[in-house]
Amino acid sequence: MEIRKLTGKNALVTGAGKGIGKSIARSLAGAGATVIINYNNSKESAENLAREINLSGGKAIAIKADLSNAQEVTDLFKQIHNQIGDIDILINNAGMAKPQPSESIRIDDWSEVLNINLTSAFLTIQAAVPAMKQKNYGRIINISSVAAQTGGVIGPHYAASKAGMLGLTHSYAALLAGYGITVNAIAPALLETGMIADNDKITPDVIPIKRFGQPEEVADVALLLACNGYVSGQTINVNGGVYMS
């Protein structure tokens, strides 16, 4: 008999129109959660995913919001509250990669990457936490990157944004531990998604197990963390052995 551990829970997956977020949304829906598929630019993909989940017996809705914009985050949470209630599980996956030589990075590039990759997570956590505290229950999972640990190959702006996700995770894990809220990070490396498609520096040869990872392998870890109430403040590395801790 299938155990649907997340039945009755509401999960927001940011940047869920494609890649890792899409796989996580499928995984959480399969475990019984009602999933909010957040997107900014990937409308068709997000709506198709919601349709797929609903047709397969799950529950999902797609909602657009630019999460680097504080007002749009506020509006997103109002829409979610009005349609299904409050969030129990928050997956901060929205992000962008902007490969650039360090000498060509300008302040606008820096701000864009930091706002989309890091500020968005701060805004969504701040919006989700009050209701989680009232329920004495919450699961927050921040998608970081091996770039936070090694510097990576995309650029210092990207590495800094993903390192910031780890600091954000540690701080909120400590602050929210007494409210039944766990906060963890996942640090993937070199997954077979659009983020690495156009970067000729990235090949399977740099990975000890000699293959790219799959988004579903990150989704497996996200599901574990969403179902577990005793793991908090941790970074789970899903990287094929690139960085060992």
| Residues involved in catalysis | 158
Instruction: Give me the sign of the Cα torsion angle 164, 61, 35, 2.
Output: negative
Q: Residues with Cβ < 8 Å from 131, sequence gap 6 or more?
A: 81, 86, 87
| 3-class SS letters over the chain | CCCCCCCCCEEEECCCCCHHHHHHHHHHHHCCCEEEEEECCCHHHHHHHHHHHHHCCCEEEEEECCCCCHHHHHHHHHHHHHHCCCCCEEEECCCCCCCCCHHHCCHHHHHHHHHHHHHHHHHHHHHHHHHHHHHCCEEEEEECCCHHHHCCCCCHHHHHHHHHHHHHHHHHHHHHHHHCEEEEEEEECCECCHHHCCCCCCCHHHCCCCCCECHHHHHHHHHHHHHCCCCCCCEEEECCCCCCC
